[in-house]
Structure 1
Amino acid sequence: MVCFCFLVDQRKKVKRCKPVAGSCSRCGAGASVADMITQTRFCFLPFYCKSWKAIICTFCGAMLKSYT
């Protein structure tokens, strides 16, 4: 029996962001609302794409909250 293993990866990109009132709970820096896009690729070919919003820290890059 032969089993093939293919590479599957997932990339998260920030399309645009704007500042929001509040601060990061980890480092205390400012936060921003970002429009995110997730691309899942199978053998280097994109086959799934999803857009969503998230609140991220502007200093450490931590994702504080996500919305679908």
Structure 2
Amino acid sequence: MVCFCFLVDQRRMTLKIRPVAAMCSRCGCAASVADIKTETRFCYVPFCWRSWRVVICTFCGSILRSYAR
């Protein structure tokens, strides 16, 4: 079971970022909407992926809200 953990990895890619009229509740800076795709791979072959939309802070990088697509 330990070997299985080293053969699986997960890659997160940002597809598109758009500004939005909102502020971060943690640091008070501007926020933006981003489309994110997560790809889970086994031995470098992708077998599962998921896309979703998030509201993310442009300064501290915290995810403020996420939406399923």
Greater Cα radius of gyration, structure 1 or 2? 1
Equivalence for 1:25:
25
Residues 1:35 and 2:35 aligned together = yes
Equivalence for 2:58:
58
* RMSD over aligned Cα atoms: 1.4
Ranges in structure 1 where 5+ consecutive residues have no aligned partner: none
How far the C-alpha of 1:8 sits from its partner, in A, is 1.4
Q: Which structure: greater helix fraction?
A: 2
How has the CA–CA distance of structure 1 residues 47 and 29 changed in structure 2, closer, same or farther, with 3 Å as cutoff? same
Extract structure 1 runs of 4+ deviating beyond 3 A.
none
What is the count of residue pairs matched by the alignment? 66
Residues 1:5 and 2:11 aligned together = no
- Using the alignment, how far apart are the partners of 2:2 and 2:31 within structure 1? 43
Say which SS state the counterpart of residue 3 (structure 2) adopts.
coil
Ranges in structure 2 where 5+ consecutive residues have no aligned partner: none
